[in-house]
Amino acid sequence: MIDDYMPAASEMTRVYKHIHFMPYEYNLFCFQRWFILLAFMERHQIPKCCYIDTDVMLFTDVNHPRFENFTMEFVWTNFVDRQKLELYCEFMKSHFANPIAFAQVVQYTMRRKEHVRFNQPLITDMVLALLFLERLKGYQITNGLFHDGIIDGNIQQATSMENLYGYKKIYSINGVLCCKDKATLRYLPVFSLHFQGYTKHHMKFFTTPYLPQAGSYIFDYISNRWIQFL
């Protein structure tokens, strides 16, 4: 079925420049997927959708009205409407096609150290999305904190939350997954978790057979067990 929509990505394929250590086909498809999704939404008259990568787990109902205004902050957990997706696709295509604009992408990537390896910029759809959102009028980044809950950018980045072994410290309190804010000491519900990279092997322990439904627990990343603390 995906082949039915691949022609929509033909122009992006033509202008794509590969600057990444991942295989050409892999990184190219990371860009192509947005054109394919846009074509699918247009054909089936879908005004808005939630897109998640396969290493993201959802723990909330994304159809809840509170998510109506959340937009494409993370490419791996993405609430996107057709109009913004069309703008994003055009932004990517034009910035690869125009040498001056592409040079700006390279410079922007080099300033973001997490997207540089051995002094080589890693040009991805993530970088283009960040640049796109910075220039999108009226957009305000949330850093994943939304309606007193967390849409996770990366489980390996604890930022303002408590951490355990350098990962977000995940609590299960009567079946509700939470993180604890270090500044306020409040428990914030987890709407999603992104098991990026080598953390994917933890995913199955966040499914129903393993998740505790009553009591207070902390997930231990070393033993892959939920440990009761109250």
pLDDT tens digits along 92-108 = 999 999 999 999 999 99
Residue 58: partners with Cβ closer than 8 Å, 6 or more residues away: 52, 191, 192
Confidence band, pLDDT 50/70/90 cuts, at residue 146: confident
Residues paired with 192 in a beta bridge: 58, 151
The token duo for 217 is 């627990």
Q: Where are the domains of the chain?
A: 2-135, 145-228
- pLDDT at 180 > cutoff 80: yes
- pLDDT at 143 > cutoff 80: no
- pLDDT at 147 > cutoff 80: no
29 alpha carbon, distance to own chain's centre: 16
Determine the pLDDT at residue 58.
95
SS3 letters across the chain: CHHHCHHHHHHHHHHCCCCCCCCHHHHHHHHHHHHHHHHHHHHCCCCEEEEECCCEEECCCCCCHHHCCCCCCCCCEEEEEHHHHHHHHHHHHHHHHCHHHHHHHHHHHHHCHHHEECCEECCCHHHHHHHHHHHCCCCCCCCCEECCEEECCCCCCCCCECEECCEECCEEECCEEEEEECCCCCEEEEEEEECCHHHHHHHHHHCCCCCCCCCEEEEECCCCEEEECC
- CA–CA dist 169, 132 (Å, integer): 31
Mean pLDDT score across all residues of the chain: 92
pTM listed for this prediction = 0.89
Q: Tens digits of per-residue pLDDT, 203-218? A: 999 998 999 999 999 9
Give the closest residue to 91 by CA, choosing from 178, 15, 39: 15
Determine the pLDDT at residue 186.
94
Calculate mean pLDDT across residues 25-44: 97
Calculate mean pLDDT across residues 40-65: 93
Q: Tens digits of per-residue pLDDT, 61-98? A: 989 888 877 777 778 888 888 999 999 999 999 999 99
Determine the pLDDT at residue 73.
74
Q: Tens digits of per-residue pLDDT, 190-205? A: 999 999 989 999 999 9
Please give the share of the chain, as a percent, with pLDDT higher than 70. 100
